């Protein structure tokens, strides 16, 4: 009896084991659902400096990706383009609806910038700034004011600090010394004398160009025009109604004069050529902003100095950096892009604090000069790029400036062509 019972138990156990084994064998092996990454990608396109190979804003991007690891990831496409090419690409990307979430340099294209606002292509940032007291506290009032539109809305990230938004003149101390010049000229008269002296010593005084809104010569010419009260008022005008006035003619004449002190390859070239000429010792001066400090090659750091334009003038428009968020992205992406703007603001603030508290002996001479100039209550002249119409900047200047400097066109004709651009612009508007 016991044996039978045992056998039955054994048989049942074997059957159960078989069933279990088979059940286990039959069970489909479904992969465990893994944790889906919820990291949101923030598409950004940034440039690589064609002269130095430095990735612009790389520190910011690395800091952002580290700080917001797992939540946001700035997905940057680094492109080797000049600033002008980058700006033109912005337009192309806009019409093909392929803009990245975060764009820069927008303010350099005034009409495009306003078109973007009108078409609802860029995000109004007040909601992000107002909701974030910390960010708000970091923003310099002058920077916020420059970014604010007439109706109070803010489309450009107030990321900059006025301290880093100024442009003046970088000059080669060694070449100056060769010409027997010990310091940078303080008046425009001295400036022209300086140019003359350099030239007489076989040194090309200025590194200039005509493409890319003629940035370098226009900086000098607009700074010079502001030396008169009328000229200073002219530079404050948004979309001037005419250039056929005293200030317009003065700018044209200055431009004509400037190009008599520059290199032969300045025509139809962009800023990168001028940069190369200056940092190869072929020219003694190049106008540009604080941001060029990082681009000064190491071996040139002891030779290069910085000064305000004569008569203590600096060109400054903090909004020129023109960082904006594209509206067509999701709220999550836009929120991440706003966080990137905030981080940029913080890093700029920290950089300013660091710069101002830095031991001058640790700075390069140009940096020391910049701080001294900035603290010396300079006259700030608005950047023409944020004031003048885009047809003039992007089309007309590139066409007429070479004509002017080659004396193929008179200053009067030059200003007339400038006014024509105003008409065209108004038509399109």
The residues that touch another protein, with contacts defined as CB under 8 A, are 7, 11, 14-15, 18-19, 22-23, 25-26, 28, 91-92, 94-98, 111-112, 114-115, 118-119, 121, 328, 390-391, 427-429
DSSP at 378:
P
Closest distance between another protein and the C-beta of residue 22, in Å? 3
Q: Which is nearer to another protein, 239 or 291 (CB)?
A: 239
Nearest CB to another protein, comparing residues 313 and 387: 387
Nearest CB to another protein, comparing residues 24 and 137: 24
Cβ of residue 267: shortest distance to another protein, in angstroms? 25
CB of 68 to another protein, least distance (A): 26
Q: Nearer Cβ to another protein, position 26 or 137?
A: 26
Which H or E run contains 247?
helix 246-258
**Angle at CA 308, nearest 5°, toward 272 and 85?**
25
> In whole angstroms, how close is the CB of 252 to another protein at the nearest point?
25
The residue to which tokens 């909004």 are assigned: 319
- Written as six digits, the tokens of 86 are 């980058």
Cβ atoms of 414 and 259 closer than 8 Å: no
Q: Rounded CA gap, 47 and 58, in Å?
A: 10
DSSP β-bridge partners for residue 206 = 262, 285
Residue 11 Cβ, how far from another protein at the closest point, in Å?
A: 6
Distance CA 86, CA 90 (A): 6
Nearer to another protein, 91 or 136 (CB): 91
d(CA 186, CA 42): 47
Q: Minimum Å distance from CB 393 to another protein?
A: 11
Least separation in angstroms between residue 389's CB and another protein is 10
Whichever of 94 and 247 has its CB closer to another protein, that residue is 94
Supply the minimum distance, in Å, between the C-beta of residue 111 and another protein: 6
Cβ at position 377, least distance to another protein in Å: 39
Nearer to another protein, 40 or 143 (CB): 40
> Is the Cβ–Cβ distance between 277 and 267 less than 8 Å?
no
Question: Could you tell me which of 276, 161, 285 has the C-alpha nearest to residue 219?
Answer: 285
CB of 289 to another protein, least distance (A): 25
> Smaller CB distance to another protein: residue 114 or 239?
114
What is the DSSP track for 54-99?
PBTTHHHHHHHHHHTTTTEEEEEEEE---HHHHHHHHHHHHHTT--
Q: Which is nearer to another protein, 20 or 131 (CB)?
A: 20
What SS3 class is residue 154? Answer: strand
Of 97 and 362, which has the nearer Cβ to another protein?
97
Pairing between β-strand 102-103 and β-strand 324-325 as defined by DSSP bridges = antiparallel
Q: How many degrees, rounded to 5, is the angle at CA 196 between CA 264 and CA 293?
A: 70
- Integer Cα distance of 347 and 64 in angstroms: 10
Distance of CA 192 to the CA centre of its chain: 30
Shortest distance in whole angstroms from residue 149 CB to another protein:
15
- The residue ranges of DSSP E strands in 294-383, in sequence order, are 304-307, 313-316, 324-325, 379-381
Do residues 287 and 309 lie in contact, with contact meaning Cβ atoms separated by under 8 Å?
A: yes
Residue (of 212, 218, 194, 215) closest to 204 by Cα position: 194
Residue 96 dihedral angles phi and psi, to the nearest 5°: -100, 10
Nearer to another protein, 22 or 145 (CB): 22
């Amino acid at each position: 009896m016991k044996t039978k019972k045992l056998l039955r138990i054994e048989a049942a156990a074997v059957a159960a084991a078989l069933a279990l084994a088979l059940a286990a064998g039959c069970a489909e092996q479904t992969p465990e659902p893994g944790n889906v990454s919820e990291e949101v990608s923030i598409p950004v396109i940034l440039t690589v400096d064609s002269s130095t190979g430095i990735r612009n804003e790389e520190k910011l991007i690395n800091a952002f990706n580290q700080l917001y690891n797992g939540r946001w990831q700035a997905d940057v496409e680094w492109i080797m383009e000049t600033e002008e090419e980058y700006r033109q690409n912005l337009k192309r990307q806009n019409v093909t609806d392929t803009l990245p979430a975060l764009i820069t340099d927008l303010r350099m294209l005034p009409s495009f910038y306003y078109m973007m606002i009108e078409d609802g292509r860029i995000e109004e940032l007040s909601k992000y700034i107002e909701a974030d007291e910390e960010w708000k506290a970091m923003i310099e009032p002058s920077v916020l004011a420059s970014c604010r539109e007439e109706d109070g809305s803010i489309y450009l990230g107030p990321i900059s600090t006025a301290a880093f938004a100024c442009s003046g003149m970088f000059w080669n101390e060694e070449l100056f010394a060769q010409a027997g010049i010990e310091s940078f000229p303080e008046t425009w008269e001295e400036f022209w004398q300086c140019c003359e002296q350099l030239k007489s010593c076989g040194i090309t005084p200025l590194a200039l160009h005509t493409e890319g809104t003629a940035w370098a010569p226009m900086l000098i010419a607009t700074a010079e025009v502001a030396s008169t009260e009328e000229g200073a008022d002219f530079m404050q005008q948004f979309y001037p109604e005419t250039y056929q006035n005293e200030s317009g003619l003065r700018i044209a004449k200055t431009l004509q004069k400037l190009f008599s002190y520059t290199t032969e390859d300045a025509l139809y070239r962009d800023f990168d050529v001028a940069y190369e000429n200056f940092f190869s010792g072929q020219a003694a001066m190049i106008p540009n902003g604080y941001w060029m400090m990082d681009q000064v090659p190491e071996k040139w750091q002891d030779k290069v100095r910085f000064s305000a334009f004569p008569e203590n003038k600096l060109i400054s428009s903090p909004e020129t950096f023109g960082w904006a968020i594209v509206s067509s992205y999701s709220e999550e992406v836009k929120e991440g892009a706003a966080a990137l703007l905030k981080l940029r603001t913080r890093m700029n603030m920290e950089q300013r604090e660091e710069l101002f508290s830095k031991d001058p002996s640790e700075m390069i001479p140009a940096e020391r000069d910049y701080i001294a100039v900035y603290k010396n209550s300079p006259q700030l002249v608005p950047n023409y790029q944020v004031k003048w119409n885009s047809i003039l900047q992007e089309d007309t200047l590139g066409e007429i400036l070479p004509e002017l400097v080659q004396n193929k066109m008179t200053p009067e004709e030059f200003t007339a062509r400038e006014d024509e651009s105003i008409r065209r612009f108004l038509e399109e508007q």
